[in-house]
Amino acid sequence: MPELSQYQIANCAWKYATPSGSPIANTSDVALAAASTGKCHYLCSIQVFNADADTDTVVVVKDGSTVIWTGYVEKVSGKIAAAFPLPIKGTAGTALNFACITTGTTTYVSAQGYTI
């Protein structure tokens, strides 16, 4: 694969943020980056915040349905901020998904990466 400059990667960048006022409250997958034929998604960083007063949760990032990253977010302002110097690579043509493992949370996620 040819080397990419920082400017080429910027042109391939994607970002996701949970819509304001619509936190994740169940275990359904949320697409951080939709499937793109023949291209791989790379996860560079993720920030997760749990505003729920009662419920802790495990959170996961999935390559389609396969878990590729796991975190734990405590109740009452629990948060994670993770950067991956070596981005986490997904499989070509597969969506990059986020999910909570516990229902009843008030979780927000932001993620950044690129697709090539």
Q: pTM here?
A: 0.90
Residue at 1 is within a domain: no
Residue at 107 is within a domain: yes
Write out pLDDT tens, residues 25-69.
999 999 999 999 999 999 999 999 999 999 999 999 999 999 999
pLDDT at 47: 98
CB 113 within 8 A of CB 13: yes
pLDDT at 4: 55
For range 88-103, the mean pLDDT: 97
Residue 10's pLDDT band, with cuts at 50, 70 and 90, is: confident
Kindly tell me if the per-residue pLDDT of 22 is higher than 90.
yes
Residue 96, domain CATH: 2.60.120.340
Residue at 92 is within a domain: yes
Conformation bin of residue 25: beta by default, left when phi > 0, alpha when psi is -120 to 50: alpha
Residue 81's pLDDT band, with cuts at 50, 70 and 90, is: very high
Q: Give the chain's domain count.
A: 1
Kindly tell me if the per-residue pLDDT of 2 is higher than 80.
no
Domain containing 47 equals 6-115
